[in-house]
Amino acid sequence: MHPVLSRFLDLQVARAALSAPKDASLSEEARVFQTVAERHVEQKTLLLDAGPSSRPSVETQKALLFLATHAALLSVSEDARLGPSMAHARHVLAQEGATPEETELLLASLLLEEAFGFLGDDSGFDSTFLAETLDTVEAWGRLTSEKLETISKSMMEAAAPTARPQMEQACWALFEAAFEEGPQPITPEHVETALFQLTENKPEAESARARAALRRVLERLSELGLVGPRRLGHLVDTLDEGLEEAPTPPRSVH
């Protein structure tokens, strides 16, 4: 989790930052948080009106998460290492027709994914993973149905004749789970959804073949630059967990 996001998920810390004077004593993190809050007056007002209650309203919690996430996004944008990748991602998404609001929401979702998207990963802010994800935006941000067709066709042609139906099913189960609502990074949730679709009520031997085909699809997408190596590791872990657990109903796709 990005340190700015982590710091300002505490309501009282966030309120103190909003009330702090804008002088030389203001920390860099507080400056970023104030800057974002000034752009989003509705959310800022909700926090200032919340009071010292230990049980903030749902609306206040949403406002807090929104401001903390966008403050972290601004911090990343100003970072010497991550800033250029963030700027390029914005450029690509704008070229593909995303509005500024859509772009900011999508990029903010990448920070939330790094923070909360992988259970059991509490090793702190994984800047390398975020950088990798930003560097793949150009590949998945420019995806079209025609490009997905080309990927599926090439994978079928590379497979043994008897394996081609399984490969096609694996491709489209994953593509529909991940990209039905538009281009975005592939997540473990997408893999779980595709795996459930491919293995529900199927014999173990057929399920194993489907799992192997899905793994090959992920590896191919990584070769094409759509999935970075660290993300691939997380996704393969999801498949491996499927060997130990029965398929579970898919959760909603983001």
Rounded to 5 degrees, what are φ and ψ at 108?
-65, -35
> Last residue of some domain: 113, 135, 157?
135
Amino acid residing at 29? E
Any residues with CB less than 8 A from the CB of 225 and at least 6 apart, and which?
136, 138, 139
Please give the pLDDT value at position 248: 43
CA–CA gap between residue 47 and residue 192 (Å, rounded): 36
Out of 89, 115, 135, a domain closes at 135
pLDDT (tens digit per residue) in 158-175: 999 999 999 999 999 999
Q: Which domain holds residue 28?
A: 3-135
Does residue 254 sit within a domain? no
Q: Can you read off the two tokens belonging to residue 180? A: 């039905």
Co-location of 131 and 210 in the same domain = no
| Under 8 Å between Cβ of 60 and 46 | yes
Cα distance between residue 175 and residue 194, in whole Å: 8
In a domain, 11, yes or no: yes
**Do 33 and 106 sit in the same domain of this protein?**
yes
Give yes or no: residues 53 and 154 share one domain: no
Tokens of 66: 């929104």
State which of 92, 116, 135 marks the end of a domain.
Answer: 135
Overall domain count for the chain: 2
d(CA 15, CA 93): 33
Distant-in-sequence, close-in-space partners of 53: CB < 8 Å, separation ≥ 6? none
Is residue 71 assigned to a domain?
yes
The whole-number pLDDT of residue 122 equals 63
Can you tell me the distance from the alpha carbon of 254 to that of 249, in angstroms, rounded to the nearest whole number? 15
User: Is there a domain that residue 160 lies in?
Assistant: yes
In this predicted model, what pLDDT tens digit does every residue of 53-89 receive, in sequence order? Answer: 668 899 999 999 999 999 999 999 999 999 999 999 9
Would 52 be classed as within a structural domain? yes
The yes-or-no verdict on residue 98 having pLDDT over 70 is yes
Q: Is residue 252 part of a domain?
A: no
pLDDT band at 22 (very low <50, low <70, confident <90, very high): confident
The reply to whether 227 falls in a domain is yes
CA angle 181, 231, 149 (to 5 degrees): 45
Among residues 243, 242, 231, the alpha carbon closest in space to that of 187 is found at 231
% of the chain beyond a pLDDT of 70? 92
Does residue 9 contact residue 68 with C-beta atoms inside 8 Å?
A: yes
The model's pTM is 0.85
* CA 37 – CA 6 distance, rounded (Å): 16
| Together in a domain, 131 and 224 | no
